[in-house]
Amino acid sequence: MTVTVAIIGSGPGGFYAATALTKEIEDCRVDVIDRLPTPYGLIRAGVAPDHQSMKKVSARFEKTAQDPRVRFLGNVEVDRDLTLAELRSMYDAVVIATGAPIDRRLGIPGEELEGVFGSAEFVGWYNAHPDQRELAPSLESGTLVVIGAGNVALDVARMVAKTGDEVRVTDMAHYAVDEIDVTPIKDIYIYARRGPLQAAFTHKEVQEFGHLERAIPLVDPAVLPPEDIDLTSKGRGNQEKNIALLRGYAVNTGDEKPVKIHIAFYAMPLEILGDDGRVTGIRMERTELLDDGSCVGTGETFDLPCNVVVSCIGTESTVLEGAPFDEKRNRFVNADGKIDDGLFASGWARRGPTGTIGTNHPDGVAVANMVMELTPDPAKTGPDALDALLNERGVRVVTFDDWKRLEAAEEEAASHGAPRRKFTSIDEMLDRLG
């Protein structure tokens, strides 16, 4: 008997689940629902536009979407167009794979000032996420501060540090290319609370700072560990490579290129300073590391004038009506992916927002294994019931074929060797589809 499955979210968490389901269960019908008309979640809207090879993983998901047992239903939002309870009444299994799209707050005074952004907003802006099209960060000032020591922080700094020519060949949103092309940015500060050995970024991302056309990375040699520290033991390979790269950057003077990327450690933001509703600076406190690896403020503060602050300190999930959410762990309450009978979680909705695209793969396999154990209910007609409901509500569903038409239009509109010129609003996409 056919097992019917609805997956909410078409990012890696959702598509790895769809792929595993079609592999493990011959007789299944899988609907992958997304609030956007475009599939693939953060592969399209998070991964940096100059990391096109990373985005190629979506080819694997495209194969799944083209399996006759699978459908993509874009422009359908759970909690707007239909409820989780409705989906559960129509499908044998529902998988929540909605990611973690909301920026975590810094929780310091001044955060509400104009010119302060979270990474999901800022990255969404340059990646043409329709939610962030109107963000319009003004980069006309000379100094940008990035808070955080993960790869997202480095992505943000790198994208702004690039020249117009460097970003024009990527699929960065055309309005962001225009802004970056003319920005007279001079200094980009990346602030990490702890030291270089604790930083979460990976050496590949650090390395890219060494190959930018107009920007040069700078590091204070005093913050680096002693030369004789042993980083060769197992599991410290990334640290060893990071430190080697940072040592190389520590000899730069800043005169080499017009834009300076200051990679700074042992400092945390205390307050964002402003005037007339806009950011004018940031007050930082120096920190020191404790034996347990955490850090505390030393009481010594300093102010840095700046006009844009991007905090890259992580994101949070959106809740869905009818699914228990664990605020503390920042994910849906689940035991190894199971939330309730017939209700599962995959990807960041299951684990919280950590890990790479590939980290979501086992989540999908686990979901498929649990769905295999279910006894299908013939009354749960899945796709047929969903189509009737969405039709009745007048929802304009974007199918995978529609998406392929949008994709072809984006590729056709590309210039300067860019892979595509992205649509930047849902209306634009729906208009194009007619």
Chain residues binding ligand FAD by CB under 6 A are 8-14, 33-36, 41-42, 46-47, 51, 54, 77-79, 97-99, 101, 123, 152, 155, 318, 347-349, 355-357, 359-360
- In the three-class reduction of DSSP (H, G, I as helix; E, B as strand; rest coil), residue 182 is classed as helix
> Least distance (Å) from ligand FAD to the CB of residue 359?
6
> Least distance (Å) from ligand FAD to the CB of residue 37?
10
Q: Is residue 242 within 8 Å of 254, Cβ to Cβ? A: no
Residue 294 tokens, joined: 């955490």
When the beta carbons of 67 and 77 are compared against ligand FAD, the nearer one is: 77
When the beta carbons of 260 and 350 are compared against ligand FAD, the nearer one is: 350
> Least distance (Å) from ligand FAD to the CB of residue 314?
9
> Least distance (Å) from ligand FAD to the CB of residue 355?
5
Q: Could you give the residue ranges of the DSSP H alpha helices within 353-399? A: 361-372, 383-392
Report CA-CA distances (Å) from 80 to 34, 35, 48, 77, 402: 12, 9, 29, 5, 21
Give the single-character DSSP code of 360.
Answer: G
When the beta carbons of 298 and 354 are compared against ligand FAD, the nearer one is: 354
The angle that helices 400-412 and 426-433 make with each other, rounded to 10 degrees, is: 100
Pairing of the two strands 102-103 and 315-316 = antiparallel
When the beta carbons of 156 and 273 are compared against ligand FAD, the nearer one is: 156
When the beta carbons of 46 and 342 are compared against ligand FAD, the nearer one is: 46
H/E element holding 394? none
Task: Give the integer Cα–Cα distance in Å for 45 and 120.
Answer: 9
Task: Give the integer Cα–Cα distance in Å for 417 and 303.
Answer: 42
When the beta carbons of 179 and 363 are compared against ligand FAD, the nearer one is: 363
When the beta carbons of 75 and 143 are compared against ligand FAD, the nearer one is: 75
> Least distance (Å) from ligand FAD to the CB of residue 196?
21
| Closest residue to ligand FAD using C-beta atoms | 11
> Least distance (Å) from ligand FAD to the CB of residue 99?
2
**End-to-end Cα, the chain, rounded Å:** 37
Residue 143 tokens, joined: 């100094």
When the beta carbons of 41 and 196 are compared against ligand FAD, the nearer one is: 41
Task: Give the integer Cα–Cα distance in Å for 91 and 95.
Answer: 10
Phi, psi at 405, each rounded to 5°: -70, -40
When the beta carbons of 42 and 219 are compared against ligand FAD, the nearer one is: 42
Task: Give the integer Cα–Cα distance in Å for 17 and 363.
Answer: 7
Report CA-CA distances (Å) from 316 to 14, 29, 98, 311: 17, 30, 11, 13
> Least distance (Å) from ligand FAD to the CB of residue 271?
26
> Least distance (Å) from ligand FAD to the CB of residue 410?
17
> Least distance (Å) from ligand FAD to the CB of residue 117?
13
